[in-house]
Structure 1
Amino acid sequence: MQPPIEATFRDQMKPIFTDEQLVIQLSESNKRAFEEIYDRYWYKLFCISFHQTGSREEAEELVHDLFESLWKRRLESKINHLSSYLVIALKYLIVNHIKSQITWRKYQEYVLLNKMHEISTTEENIEFNDLSEAIDKAMKKLPEKTSRVFQLSRFENQSVKSIAKELHISEKAVEYHITKSLKVLKDNLWIYQTDN
């Protein structure tokens, strides 16, 4: 017995909308249109984000933020080409995310390396000596090249470009060694951190 035509083609009856149609429906607060956009573009956007950040968690969070913004701004956004709009919006989010990471890293560095300047009393001078010794010990735990990069950057105030040229390594490698140094120092000097 042949199944009824309605059952046979039920799945094919589901409407397939173009991006342009979805954009119009999105501007009318159609949640199904939003879900279709999400399903259609999530993986592509995730791949772009993951390629730039190298972190699955950060990539997923950035894509989530993008779609959250898309829905919140659905009434005011002027979208001519959906795919391009989403990719460009995501790239702005990625750039801002990376900038915020750099700013946070520099803040941590500031707190860490300026700890010595906070000490003024005689009792605190003892703490200063302990801190200096702890820093020396932490530096000895670093690989030779990492330690050298950190000294050139933070104690001799050389630029990333200058260090890369002197040590014959890439600027990206210099950034890597600096980040690694800060992490080791932070992990070894946590006891000296204050609540101020």
Structure 2
Amino acid sequence: MIFKQLDDERLVGLLRDGQMAAFEEIYRRYWYKLYCIAYHQTGIREDAEELVQEVFLKLWSRRSEVLIRHLGMYLTIAVKNQVYDYIKSQISYRKYQEYLIFQEIHQNHNTDEIINFTDLTEAVEKVLNQLPEKSAEVFKRSRFENQSVREIAKGLNLSEKAVEYHITKSLRFLKDNLKEYHSDN
């Protein structure tokens, strides 16, 4: 049977019957479209690929129990839901990290240290505001959003060397302008 010539409705029927070749044809037809949706939302190639793979794994594992009338719409909604869950988990993870940091600060530091940390945070913000806009943006993405040099370069349409230059320049500027907060221990 030539699966490329079958319409989506027939492929779904064969998929329900456990036909691996039907699944493979669905994968070939829709993988790139779903990948583009996921990548547009996440901006990270590897994460987008994993989200699409998860959609297809679920499709295969639930093939006999799910009623699919419009395959393209079903898969599009499935990948959007997968992206939504991913983003929600990323937000929850970041909030959890912030909570742990906050707890650590309150449990292990006295009031003077907390005030000093607050002062330092404000001083860092002031110094960052003195940097050229591009350098500040690169630095924030690198240090506060934990983006890789490659991700920053792609997101800001810069070369990786330019990103490294901005990070080095920012670190040097911060070091020079925050000397009073530097300790030797």
TM-score (norm 1): 0.60
Q: What 5-or-longer segments of structure 2 have no aligned partner?
A: 131-136, 147-185
Aligned match of 2:182: none
Q: 2-side partners of 1:65 and 1:94: how far apart?
A: 10
| Superposition RMSD in Å | 3.0
Q: Secondary structure at the match of 2:14?
A: helix
Count of matched residue positions in the alignment of Structure 1 and Structure 2: 135
Q: Secondary structure at the match of 2:68?
A: coil
Instruction: State which of 94, 98, 101 in structure 1 corresponds to 2:90.
Output: 101
Instruction: State which of 144, 148, 155 in structure 1 corresponds to 2:129.
Output: 144
Q: CA deviation at 1:144?
A: 3.0
- Find the structure with the greater CA-based Rg: 1
TM-score (norm 2): 0.63
Q: 1-side partners of 2:2 and 2:96: how far apart?
A: 53
1:81 maps to 2:66: no
Q: What 5-or-longer segments of structure 1 have no aligned partner?
A: 1-12, 146-176, 187-196
CA 1:57–1:185: 2 relative to 1, 3 Å:
closer
Q: CA deviation at 1:185?
A: 10
Letter in 1 for 2:38: S
Q: Secondary structure at the match of 1:114?
A: helix
1:113 maps to 2:107: no
Q: CA deviation at 1:131?
A: 6.6
After superposition, what is the alpha-carbon deviation per residue over 1:48-82, rounded to whole angstroms, capped at 9, x for unaligned? 11111111111101000000000000010110010
Letter in 1 for 2:124: K
Q: CA deviation at 1:115?
A: 1.8
- The answer (yes or no) to whether the contact 1:138–1:185 under 8 Å persists in 2 is no
Letter in 1 for 2:14: Q
Aligned match of 2:32: 43
